[in-house]
Each structure stands twice: as structure tokens, then as C-alpha cells.
Structure 1
Amino acid sequence: MIGVDRAVAEFDRALSAVDGRAATSLVRELLDAGEDPLAVLVDVIAAGQRTVGERWQRGEWSIAKEHAATAVAVSATEVVARFAERTPVTRGRVVVACAEREWHALPALIISSAMRLHGWDTTLLGASTSPARLSQCLHDVGPDATAVSCSVLGALPTTRRFIEASTTAGIPVVVGGSAFGSDPTRALALGATAWAPNAQGAVALLDELPAVVRRAAPLPREPLAEQSAIELGHHRLVEVLRGRWSPAARAAPDDPLARKLFSAACGEVLHQALHAVSATLLTGDPRPIPETAAWIDRLLTARGADPRLAAELGDVLASTLRDFPTAHGLVVRHWADGLVLQGETAS
């Protein structure tokens, strides 16, 4: 019997080779051998997918290879999902959704499969589900709970709309994903009923949820007003940042393809910087700002950029947001906390 520990390395090789047949065959072998399907989901597939993201961040893989490997992981998860359909429904029904702007559908598929394995009847909505579509589904299905997956900070505003839609109907909502960080702070600030750190946690929470919940309380008015204005002007602000920041002048790879990929990474960085500010305004948790600054620093330096670029972006971001006093102050106070330049904390 191959065992989960050995399977981790084999699954990683399948992802690296973008070999869907090897990945799905490995998962079938594990399930046929009687391995815990939840362990296969979490310890093999989800762990492998995290490694995929880390390789892109370190500049070892292109975004194209990351997407191809993710498709392999999705195919492997679907094997477990089909296996889970054999489990009799002994509990209630859960609607599992990805917030609008959340295109990472794999975590939701893993969560849905984990719940199905434990006897829940699940309705899985696709990537980037609109709040209107979720509301209609809740009306049609009448679930006992809603589960929302959110991996990117830019999807937290629509996650809030999901929470409003679910709690307005009296339905408890469990949220999870890397956009919420490592504790319940952001989830509870957005009005979620509960936060789950992983698939096992989400499954365990379902039995503890109240049957009916109150509508989520309104968010604080002034930060919400700034967040809404920044969200509305997002693309304009990105262009302002692009014109003021100097990554091309300071670090342009000699190879034309590398230069193109570096430029694309810089564009993604600008979006993420604004999303971090928006997430902080929305939740009152300042950690997305230094966490994103650190992510940007690692992303750029892994691609050979001048290590001062991330610090410069913080200055440019603060200057660009001067018309938003709360956001401006947050960037000034917290951006540098996430930076480590040449082994020294940025000041």
C-alpha cells in the first residue's frame, strides 16, 4: 500500500510534470487501498497545490505552468468528489460558493467534497459566483448553512455581500480561505457566523452552527465609505500607481520574455496593494497591509528586482491615497512592518 506520506512526493511529481493521468491514478489507488479520503484531500492534494503557488511566487514556475498544474489538482480532487457521492446523506444541506472575483475554485471543491464525505448534501457553485446568483440559490435550495471560500483579498468585499445575503435569509455562514488570515478576526468583522482554518475545521463547525441567525450588523460607516470609493476608483488608482512607481527603470531583465513576465508581475502587485488597503478598511484588521508588502517584496526580489522597490511602492501608495485619510494613515503606519530589505527591517 502506497500510504499518504509517500503519495505526497508522487503527487508533487505529477503536478511538476503536469501529468493528469498520473495524479488521478495515484488518488484512485489511495482510495482503493482504503486511505482516509479527507487525508487525501488535505494532506496530498491541498498540500501539493500550496507548493504550486509557492513555486510561482518564488519565480520558479510561470503563471502558465501554475495554471496547468492547478488543472491537474482539480482533476485529482474530482476523483475524490465522485468517491464522496457514495456516502449516504445523513445530515442537512450546505451551499458551497466562491465569492465574486474569487477564481480559485479548487479550495471550494475540496471543502464541498469534505462535507459530502461526512454525510452533508452539498450544492457547489462555480468560481466567482455573483451575490444575486447566491441569493437565488439560497431561495431555491433552502440550505442549513452556506460555506464561502475566499483566497484573495480582492474578493472580501463580495464575501461581505454573500454574508449579507445568507444572514438576511437567516442562514448561518461559514467562511475560510487565505484572505481571512490565520484567525477569525476578519471573518467575524465581516459578520460571518464562523471561520474555519481548513477543511476539517469546516466540517466540524457544521454540527455546531445555530439553526437560524440574525442579519449581519452594518459595517462602520467612515471606513466603509473610503473602501467603497477606493473600490469604485480601483482601475484609475492602479494607473496612477503605475505612472508613479519605477520598477521598469530599476529592474528590467535582459531577456525579453523575462521582462514581459516581470512587467505582468508588477501589474499584479499594484492590484494586490490596493486590495490590501481595501481589506483593512473593510475588516478593521491592519495585517493585510504588512502581509501584502512582505508578499510583494518576496515576489519582486525572487525575480531579481531592486530590493528597494517594495519600500518605494509603499511611499507611492501612501501618496496616491492622500485623499483617503484613513487609508493613507494605515499605509503610512503599517506598510513597512512587512518589509525585510537585505536582512534588515524597513523603516
Structure 2
Amino acid sequence: MTTPDGLPTEAFDHALSTVDAPAAIALVQGLLDDGVDPLAVLVDVIAHGQRAVGDRWQRGEWTVAKEHAATAVAVSATEVVTRFADRVPVTRGKVVVACAEREWHALPAMIIGTAIRLDGWDTVLLGASTSPARLSQCLHDVGPDATAVSCSVLGALPTTRRFIEASTTAGVPIMVGGSAFGSDDVRARALGATAWAPHAQGAVDALHHLPPVVRRAAPLPKAPMAEQAAIEVGHQRLVQTLRDRWSATTTDGPATEVAREVPHQAVHAVSAALLTGDPRPLAETARWIDHLLTVRGADPRLSAELGDELATALRDYPAAHGLVRRHWTEGLVPQGEHAR
């Protein structure tokens, strides 16, 4: 398997699958030595391979341990491109790149930071799960021209909003991206970000059009924010309630171990919908959970049952309760479709 440009994605995928860091590093270094566009190496080889890693865990083909080991290989390969990028002269301004607090997937931020550096920006990479306080201190110390934030999990959207507040309060434009934002800029705009980027090339392009100074992000609507804050405070209680009531976690089954972590994602989806005014995280999460469980042989009715239990657990939160009732099942496959 190769990309349209003939890049050796199959060889890189094999290095990830066999957790062969030396092979992955040698492959990437060879491509760079041969003059292949380093951004193409980042996007079409490394990021392409990493998506396949996540898909294999999602399909139940790999354990979490195997996924983490392969990701470490991808990080090592990315560092090769990062060292190459560090030789590019700085011809633009400075960008602070970080993962929002609770976002432990550092590789996407590394890839974005390296892509930006290749374009001549000076970059400061803060890494995984950066606290808003640490970001604020960095903005004060560094005085960057822009902030770039990676957020791939819905649970990190609340802290991404705090990043947006910190950056815009300092007058610094902020670009956001990652799978938690979905396929368009709706959630990014709702949270007050200056720009949204769908991928590495998009991040490079977006930086060229950021204003030099921005105003502080406007406050979010009070009523849904009040519910979101209360749900965030009660997150563990709500998760435990779901675990105590949902049959996927109260009885032994083929997906019981994975199912125990699922309630966290369900509650995070509610919080994200309230925070952004976008109900799509509910259907997206329901669909993700449905696939996660059914490929492991679980009863296809479990995802709908979780939606019912989630709505019941949120009965004291009228906006959240209504969102779950209206939108959770939009993401579920009609009964009988799983077998096709």
C-alpha cells in the first residue's frame, strides 16, 4: 500500500505493527535524505500510519498496550522530521503549541508543531495535558504571535476554552484543531477561537491569516454553562451511576472491560454539547461507542440502553437531559444493520 505520491506507507505501517522504532526512523530519515517533502512525510506517512493504529484498537484488533507501543514508534519517527525542521531558518514569528489539559495524545501537537516549524515559524511545544495556568505563564514569558492548541478528546474541550480565554485575554490569536472539534469550525467558533485547522497543512495556512492582536473571547451563554459546570463537578458521580445501572458494566460480557471506560465518554459528550451549543458530539459518541462494543461481540442494544440511562442520570439537568433524549440515537445503527 502506498499513497498517491508513492510514499512507502506499507513499510511504515509494518514498522508500527512490529513496534520496530529503528526501522521507522531509518525509513523516515531515508525519505528526507532523498528530498521528499517533509510535510508529506509527516502527513502521508506518519499521521497516516497513526490513524491506522487507532483504527486497529477501535476494531478490537489491538490492545491498548500495543497501541501505545506503536504510538511511541510514531513519536520517534516524528522527532526525525522535527530535527530536520529545526534546521529551517526562522523567517516568521513565534507560536506556542500545546495540548489542552486532559489531552494526553501528544503526537498530533508534535506533528502540527513540526509542520509550523517547517514553514519558518519559531515554535515552543508545551506537550500533553498543559494546564491553563502553565499556558498563561508561557504566554507572559514568551510573548508569542499565536497559540496553537490540539484537542482530540471531548473531555478536553472545557480546558481548551480556558486556553482560549487565557490567550485572547493576552491579545494573542489562538488556532485550534483536533478530532474533538469535528469536521468544521462550528465548535471552534462557539468557544471563541480565532481560527480552526482541520489538518497540518490547514494549520500552516491558517497561521498566515491570523490577525496580529485579538479581543478577549466573549462569555459563553450562562444557562448551558451553569449546567456544564455542574456536570463537570459531578462527573465521577454520574459515571459511577451509569456503571451501576448499565447492563454492559453490571454483567460479564465480551466487552465488559472496555465498557467500563465508556461512561466517561458519554458524560464528556454531554458537556461538549452544552459548552459549544453543538449537539453533534452526542450522536458522534453514541456511534463510536456502538462500534466499539459491537465489534467486540457485545449486544447491539447496549448503546441505546446507555443513552436511556444517561438521560435518566441527567434528569436534574433539563438542557442536558433534553439534548440526550433528542440526539443520542441519531448516531446509532438501526437494529439489524450490524450484521450486514
Q: One-letter code of the match for 1:81?
A: T
Matched residues in 2 for 1:41 and 1:217: separation? Answer: 35
Q: One-letter code of the match for 1:138?
A: L
Counterpart in 2 of 1:131?
132
Counterpart in 1 of 2:276?
283
SS in 2 for 1:340: coil
Counterpart in 1 of 2:328?
335
TM-superposed CA distance for 1:250, in Å, is 6.0
Q: One-letter code of the match for 1:14?
A: A
Counterpart in 2 of 1:42?
43
Cα contact 1:251–1:305 (8 A) shared by 2: no
Matched residues in 2 for 1:85 and 1:175: separation? Answer: 23
Instruction: Check if 1:18 corresponds to 2:36.
Output: no
Counterpart in 2 of 1:64?
65
Matched residues in 2 for 1:72 and 1:343: separation? Answer: 39
Cα contact 1:307–1:341 (8 A) shared by 2: no
Matched residues in 2 for 1:285 and 1:344: separation? Answer: 27
Cα contact 2:109–2:149 (8 A) shared by 1: yes
Structure 2, gaps ≥5 residues long: none
Aligned residues: 336
Counterpart in 2 of 1:152?
153
Cα contact 2:57–2:67 (8 A) shared by 1: yes
SS in 2 for 1:89: coil
Q: One-letter code of the match for 1:114?
A: A
Matched residues in 1 for 2:312 and 2:163: separation? Answer: 33
Instruction: Check if 1:176 corresponds to 2:177.
Output: yes
Cα contact 1:301–1:307 (8 A) shared by 2: yes
SS in 2 for 1:128: strand
Structure 1, gaps ≥5 residues long: 254-261
Instruction: Check if 1:306 corresponds to 2:299.
Output: yes
Matched residues in 2 for 1:58 and 1:207: separation? Answer: 38
Q: One-letter code of the match for 1:153?
A: L
Cα contact 1:101–1:154 (8 A) shared by 2: yes
Instruction: Check if 1:324 corresponds to 2:317.
Output: yes
Counterpart in 1 of 2:212?
211
SS in 2 for 1:111: helix
SS in 2 for 1:323: coil
Q: Deviations over 1:262-312 (max 9, x none)?
A: 333112210000000000000000000000000000000011100100010
TM-superposed CA distance for 1:344, in Å, is 4.7
SS in 2 for 1:215: coil
Distance 1:318 1:268, change over 3 A: same
Counterpart in 2 of 1:257?
none
Counterpart in 2 of 1:198?
199
Matched residues in 2 for 1:77 and 1:266: separation? Answer: 32
Counterpart in 1 of 2:265?
272
The TM-score with structure 1 as length reference comes to: 0.95
Matched residues in 1 for 2:21 and 2:272: separation? Answer: 36
Matched residues in 2 for 1:101 and 1:41: separation? Answer: 24
Matched residues in 1 for 2:35 and 2:248: separation? Answer: 52
Q: One-letter code of the match for 2:305?
A: E
Matched residues in 2 for 1:343 and 1:99: separation? Answer: 39
TM-superposed CA distance for 1:249, in Å, is 5.7
Matched residues in 2 for 1:83 and 1:131: separation? Answer: 30
Counterpart in 2 of 1:247?
248
Counterpart in 2 of 1:140?
141
Cα contact 2:102–2:155 (8 A) shared by 1: yes
Cα contact 2:249–2:260 (8 A) shared by 1: no
SS in 1 for 2:261: helix
TM-superposed CA distance for 1:213, in Å, is 0.2
Instruction: Check if 1:236 corresponds to 2:229.
Output: no
Matched residues in 1 for 2:198 and 2:291: separation? Answer: 24
SS in 2 for 1:95: strand
Cα contact 2:244–2:250 (8 A) shared by 1: no
Matched residues in 2 for 1:204 and 1:6: separation? Answer: 23
Matched residues in 2 for 1:301 and 1:5: separation? Answer: 35
Q: One-letter code of the match for 1:307?
A: P
Q: One-letter code of the match for 2:175?
A: V
Matched residues in 1 for 2:304 and 2:239: separation? Answer: 17
Counterpart in 1 of 2:89?
88
SS in 1 for 2:36: coil
Matched residues in 2 for 1:73 and 1:227: separation? Answer: 35
Matched residues in 2 for 1:125 and 1:36: separation? Answer: 26
TM-superposed CA distance for 1:252, in Å, is 1.3
Matched residues in 1 for 2:250 and 2:276: separation? Answer: 36
Matched residues in 2 for 1:263 and 1:247: separation? Answer: 6
TM-superposed CA distance for 1:251, in Å, is 5.8
Cα contact 1:175–1:195 (8 A) shared by 2: yes
TM-superposed CA distance for 1:9, in Å, is 0.8
Distance 1:327 1:49, change over 3 A: same
